[in-house]
């Protein structure tokens, strides 16, 4: 079942970087189709646009939102770390990238995850990452 992104994430365009997110058998599965008119493609690279790696990491993080349990209204999940990040294939306009993430463990407000992004059968990005859940009033 696809969940409402506006209920799950505080992000809004142009920083909402997933089209859909689902929880499937304990895995977060998110998708985004690169249209070609996104702000992050402007100038990266003229005549040969590819999605910047930092944007792929943000997409991966946003797609993992369904793995963080119910939070108080106003709580935000901030990136706390990115580890073992590898970029294996460029992502270009017209590509649909699918992200799969799993929760490895949590300790207090910290959540540790791993995930991948792929276009078709080709892996584009892999990473381990963590979030700290904090009140937006802090």
Enumerate residues 6+ apart whose C-beta is below 8 A from 98.
Answer: 29, 30, 31, 117, 118, 119
* CA-based max dimension of the chain: 46
Q: What is the CA radius of gyration of the chain?
A: 15
Contact between residue 34 and residue 50 where contact means Cβ atoms under 8 Å apart: no
Looking at 11, 44, 89, 92, which residue is catalytic?
44
Q: Which helix (H) or strand (E) holds 59?
A: helix 53-63
Q: State yes or no: is 44 an active-site residue.
A: yes
Give the active site residues.
44
């Amino acid at each position: 079942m696809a969940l409402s992104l506006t209920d799950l994430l505080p992000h809004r365009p142009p920083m909402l970087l997933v089209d859909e997110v689902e929880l499937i058998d304990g895995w977060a599965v998110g998708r985004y189709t690169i249209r070609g008119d996104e702000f992050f493609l402007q100038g990266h690279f003229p005549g040969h646009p590819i999605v910047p790696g930092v944007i792929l990491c943000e997409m991966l993080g946003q797609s993992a939102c369904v793995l963080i349990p119910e939070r108080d209204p106003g709580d935000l999940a901030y990136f706390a770390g990115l580890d073992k990040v590898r970029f294996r294939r460029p992502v270009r306009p017209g590509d649909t990238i699918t992200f799969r993430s799993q929760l490895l463990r949590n300790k207090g407000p910290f959540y540790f995850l791993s995930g991948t992004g792929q276009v078709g059968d080709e892996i584009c990005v892999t990473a381990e990452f963590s979030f700290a859940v904090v009140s937006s009033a802090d």
